[in-house]
Chain A
């Protein structure tokens, strides 16, 4: 059974629209993250949250807003979507601290047309 659940698996959106990517983890971790994987680019860190508080934000655009309603949830709201936002978005989690193993979900593949 997957321990990090991401929904939906695939998503097609129109330019200018808004979407929310869902992530729940059942590993008992206290830190959650979002990473983005675009074509021909490395996996790119976006955000980290611990105990529902933002720890690190490496996303320049305010169009990307993480939302944490519960300790094991970290959704990603993306507004004013652009074709360049097309990517696979991975949710991940770990115990807070360095050198702890980060576990990844299966990703949401977003295509903006």
Chain B
């Protein structure tokens, strides 16, 4: 079945420094959809970014990611972290013909931004 692998555990960084969270995936489908969801403390997960176009950068709220099918990767980046970016980040995959829009999530990466 599908699987998503992310940087595990806690990533701690200083405000103003760049952020990069790794995400790689495995799927039998040639046209998967990739997503980044963010979950702040005591909140529900919400969509941050999505893409299904190879080698096209997608951006939202200062974050960006590019789907690279050649390396099965969809890394999340931000040039300058803010304190409010502290949250749990999930990379997720959806099959192109999923009857029920099933999302397969990675384990999640917790980000802590310090002043």
Contact = CB atoms under 8 A, between A and B. Distances in A.
Contact of B101 (A4, A40, A96, A107): A96
B13 to A, nearest CB: 23
A68 to B, nearest CB: 13
Most interface-central of B92, B94, B95, B98 (chain A CB within 10 A): B98
Contacts of A100: 101
Contacts of A50: 100
A99 B45 contact: no
Contacts of B42: 106
B33 interface: yes
Nearest to A95: B101
Interface residues of B, number: 27
B99 interface: yes
A44 B3 CA distance: 11
B96 interface: yes
A90 to B, nearest CB: 7
Interface in B44-60: 44-47, 50, 52
A101 B46 CA distance: 9
A45 B46 contact: no
Interface of A: 4, 31, 33, 35, 40-45, 47-50, 55-56, 58, 90, 94, 96-107
Which 7 interchain pairs have the tightest Cβ spacing?
A48-B100, A56-B100, A55-B100, A104-B44, A43-B105, A42-B105, A42-B107
